[in-house]
Structure 1
Amino acid sequence: MKNHSDRYYFRLEMEPDVFRATFNPDIDASRETVRITVIDSPQPPELKPNVKLPVMENTTVDLSCSAKAPCPEQPPTVSWSNIPKSAHITTQLQEKPDKTQSVFSHVTFKASYMDHRKNISCTATYPRKTSEDSTVENTVMLRVLFSPKETHIIIDPSASVSVGTNATLTCKCKGSPSKDMNYTWFKREQEMPIAWGKNITFVVTRNNTGSYFCIARNKHGQQSSPKIQLTIEGDGFSHVIYGCTGGLLAFVMLSAVFFYFMRTKTSSQPHVIGSDQATDRNSDMVAIYANRSIAISKKSEKKETDDLHYGEIDFSKLQMGNMTRENSNNDPQTEYAEIQVTGRNNKNQKC
C-alpha cells in the first residue's frame, strides 16, 4: 500500500535471546539499506520513434512503446490509438539488462498526408486488486512532409455577385511544410498567370467574370484546383428568358414558313373534278350562248386527261311540238352548247 513507502533494513536473529543484529546505516554508513517507494499510478510507458521526425509521405514509420511489468504474472496491456487501420502491431514481454521485465510493443505503417499532425498514443493498463485498473499513456505527434493536396478555391461573398462588388478568391490546400507554399492564379482562355499569392481581390465587372483556378506549390510538388465560375448576379435568369424568347420566335418563324409552303403547294395544283362529282352532275356542263358561233371553251387550264369535244348543231329545222321552224325573215336564233366530258374512256366520243 502507499503507506508502505519507507527505508528497510536487514536484521539477523538467532535463537531468542541468543543473538540479534540490525544493519543500521545510521551507525555504519557503508552498510546499504533498501528504500521502497509506493506510488498511486505506474510510470508512463516509454515511446520512441525509430525514425527521425518528420517523415516523408509514403515512407515507413516504426514506433516502439515499452511499459514496465513489476509483476510478470500480471503484465500490463499495451494498446495504440490514432494509428492507420493498415498498421502492423507486435507485442511481447522482454527482460531488460537490469533484470527487470517490460512489455514491448512495435507498430509499423506507411505515412500518409492524412496522418500529418496526428497525436499517436501508447497506453499501458495495469490490473489491480481493486475495482478500477490503473491506466497510463504517452503521446507523440507525427509530422509528415507531402506535396499540396485537396486544393480548392473559396469565393467571398459568393460565386454570384453584383457588378461593382468586391470579390475575394482564396486558394486553399493541405501541404507540408505549409510555410514554403506559394500560389499562382490563372483565368480560363489565358495562358499567362494573372496573379500570385493565396488571395486575390478585385472589383467585379463584366470583363473579369469567368472561370478561375489556382496552382499550389511547395518543394515536394504541386496541385491544380478545380475551375470555379464567377458570374454576375441575375445573369443566369436573363439567359433563360432570352433563350425561351429566342426559341419561341424561331418556332413562330418556322411555322409561318411551313404554312406558306403548304399554301403555295396547294394553289399550284390543277383543279380536277372527281369522277364522283362528275357522275352527280350527269357528267355534263352545258352553257347556252346567244349569237351563232362555234362553241369555244373558256377554260384553258384543264388537265390533259379531260378532253373537250366541239360540234356545230343546226337548229333551223328544230321541231317544237307539231311545228317546224323554217328560216324566215324573223331574226333567227342560234344556240350553242359547251359540253365537257370528264370520263377518261370517252376520248372517241363525239357530240
Structure 2
Amino acid sequence: MDKYPIPHTLDIERATEDKLAWVYLINLGFYFIPLFLQTMPTWHIVLSLVVLVPFIYCYFWAHRSPSKTAYQPILLIIALACLITPINIGSLSLFTFAGFFIGFNYSLPKAFASLIGLAVILTLLSLTLGIHYYFAVYGVALITGVGFFGVAERKRVEAKRAQRQSQQEIRQLATMLERERIARDLHDIMGHSLSSISLKAELARKLLAKGQADQASAELAELETIARDSLSQIRQTVSGYKHKGLDAALTHLCQMLRDKGMAVTLSGELPSQPQEIETQLILSLTELCNNVVRHSQGDSCNIDLSATPQGLRISITDNGKLRQLSEGNGLTGIRERLRPLGGTLSIGLEPNPQFIIELPNQG
C-alpha cells in the first residue's frame, strides 16, 4: 500500500471535471424532443442519433483542449449542428454547447464576436430552410445566455487557479521560513558545542603529546560530557519539531484530505496524552492518511476517536475500492512505533477499507 505515488491535486480536479462533463450532457435532452413530438421518417431519426457519435467526440475534445486549439472541435460541433438542422431542429442543443465553449475559451470581445456569428448562422438557417422564426429567436437567446455562462465559468476557473498558485507560494514561503528556523536553531545549539569540542580535542592531543595523560584524560571526560549534552539538545529539538499536539495534527490531516478532494468527518475526542505517545500517534496517523490519499480512490473519509476503559481507539475509514493489500514499509513502521507502547494496528477491507489503532492505557 506504499508503492504508488500520491496523486497530485490537479489530477484529482481533472478527474472531477471529467465526471461533471458527462453530467452536462443531460442538456442533450432538448435534442431529442423533436424526435418524440414530430412524425418523421425513420432515417431522420437514425441520422439524428448517428450525429451524436461525432458530436460527443468533439464535445470531449473541446472539453480537454487548450484555448489555442479549442476552435477546431467548436467548428466541428457547429458544422454538425448545421447539417442536422434540416431534419431535426433540436440541433439548437448542439449550438448551445458550441456557445458555452466559445465563452469558456476566449476573451470577452472574441467570445462576443463569435456569438454574433452564431446568431447570424441561426438566422440564415431559419430563413433558408423556412423554419419558424422562433428557431432563430430562441436559439440566439440560448447561445447568448450559455455563452456568457461559459465566460463566468472561465472566470471561476481562473480565480481558482490563482488561489491555488497563491496557496502554493504561501506553502513554499512557510517551508523556507521553517528551514531557516531549523538552521538557526541548530546553529545556536551546535555552534558553541562544536567549538568547545574542537578546542577540548586539540588541547587533549597537545597534553598527550607532552605526556600529561591525567590532564588529557580530564579534558576528554569534559569533551564526552559536552557531546552527550549536545546530543540530548538535538533530540529535544527534533522532538519539538515533530510534536505539535495531536489536535493540531488532526486538523492539519483533515485539511490535507479535503485539499485532495475528499469529504472528511472527524468524530470523538481523546484525553490528553504524554508527548512521546502523541508524537507516535501523529506519525502513525500521518502515514495512514497519506495511504488513504494514495490508494483509496474514494471521495470520503471518517476519522473516529474514542477512549475506552482499556485504552484508546482511533479508526480511519474511507469509501474507496481497495480490496487487496500488500503491506510496505509505511505500515510496518506504524506497527514498530506502536509495539513499545503495547499498541496494535488492525486492517479491514470489507465492506470498506478501515485502519484501526488501539493503544492500551499507559499505567
TM-score using structure 2 length = 0.19
Which has more radius of gyration? Answer: 1
State TM-score, norm by structure 1.
0.20
Q: Which of 1 and 2 has higher RCO (CA within 8 Å, sep 6+)?
A: 2
Greater helix content: 2
